[in-house]
Structure 1
Amino acid sequence: MAEPLGAGSARSAVITGASRGLGFASATHLYRCGWQVVAAMRSVDTGMARLRTATGAGDDDPRLIGVPLDLTDTESIAACAKAIEESIGAPFALVHNAGISSVGMVEETPLSLWEKMFATNIFGPVALTRALLPGMRKAGRGRIVLVSSQAGVRGMPSTAPYSAVKGALERWGEAMAAEVAPFGIGVSVLVTGTYDTEIITDAGTNDCRDLDGTYARHHRTMDKRGRAAMRIAARAPEKFAAGLARALDSGKPFDKRAVGPDARMLLLANRFLPPTVMHQMTRLMMGIPRFGGLARREDTEHA
């Protein structure tokens, strides 16, 4: 274990899911900005090798520490929290970035994936937070960052489990913020826009779509439009990392902000437009048939 940095040294940040995507970009950016980074991930050897290459950090650099973490395993979470406290003490920032995604209609998505989604995106982060909060409370400062999504603002078709966990993540953050604010700990919810990471690709998501089934028409249209939108809107992960760094400087007890222009537009629209209008806008953008458009009606005519 690396020794904790001394008083007056760089602030420390724990980032989950730091081996790729937004977590990797964030860990790299914060390290370059002088932070002490604890990169929590499943594959520590592979992930740390990539991080050291990206940052130029040496194997024994106390400002870049890797710890194993499987958010679906309670023993792994407990061991991760212990390793964090032994290496850096109470972290200043706890960034919940790790998560999994899925695509598929509600009828197509097995309950086992719903359970895994909530275990990874909600139950695991809650458990890790509970383990680290006592130390953060005693330190009397810190910030817990929950990385949400546009799907947490509006439930999006074909991503119901992902939308559900991101919505739950935001409600958790809102509730927890009032609880921990008196102890000097703030909570930030970051609504991410579209970024060029594996989570928006076929390789980075759990694909439950039946492309020849009942919703085949939905999938064909949504896939075509979705890919076109991603080519236009997807930004480099490094831009998210800069937004995260700014969020960590917030002095608000609760701070919800968009990171990305498309996320900002969605939050603005969701603030001023009624839910029925937002629903219709989503339907039109996704090319989903009108209400009742695919309903099967029995022929009531008699010979």
Structure 2
Amino acid sequence: MATLNTLGFIGVGVMGEPICRHLATKSGARVLAHDRDDAPLRRLAQHKVIAASLREIAEQADIIFMSLPSGEIVQNVIRGDGDGANGLLALCRAGQLIVDLSTSPVELSRRLAADLAGAGILFADTPVMRTRAAAEAGTLAVPVGADDAVFARIEPLLRTFAADVIHVGGIGAGQVVKILNNMVLYETVLALAEARAIGTRAGVDPDRLFAAMSVGSADSFALRNHGMKAIAPQNFPEKAFPVVYAKKDLQYAVGLADQVGVDATGAKNLIACFDKAIAAGHGDKYAPAISLVFEGK
């Protein structure tokens, strides 16, 4: 990997903190990081990550990574508020590259990329897939939306925290893949939540139910991870990917479906289930907590 002088990292939350740590320990670059929460910045300081302002990152970094909770926040960071003077669009210089690890609406990513291109700033959408445990292990999967030259430039950096890096097309393609990945995943999680509720009421132990399904045609990543580790034991911790984040991703999927003329009935049904979980007070719990809706909790 070619040595870079400085990388920037904006947003060191649930996924961003371990990703930033891998970049700092494996890339050979100096890493500046920014977040509203000081706690992860203090932990990252042990790995030589330097806390910095957005302006300092824009002034010093060659490549800037973002790992933010929503497209709205991504837009605010890039465009700034008020007169926009505090956004990356105004602060960065021509030739810099912004790599968005967040999940955002496809059209928003394309609009932001166009705005940045007008200022000579490059952009790639690289939303991450898999779990927090995969982020900690450096085994995430990353679909990349970028031109060939940008992909070649960032692929070695992405591989510091990802086991699978796939160039899926131009700007926005990474978001399409991530959004649809989460749509399929959580529609499967919904089916598993229903299966647990039905199975237990019919007298079958949930651990045995899912173990048996894992050697049948219902086997899946969702079954072995979300099903066996969360839904069967009813273990839905906070500080993991929560119901409210999963709902946001599904809303992006339904919005994309509407744009291309597809009536995504399964995704719409899932959003209704997320709404029930949130209304019952489970919005901050790990997203498979939609299971609680079927358990009457």
TM-score bucket (shorter structure) = 0.3 to 0.5
The normalised TM-score by structure 1 is 0.35
Q: Which has the higher contact order (CA 8 A, sep 6+)?
A: 1
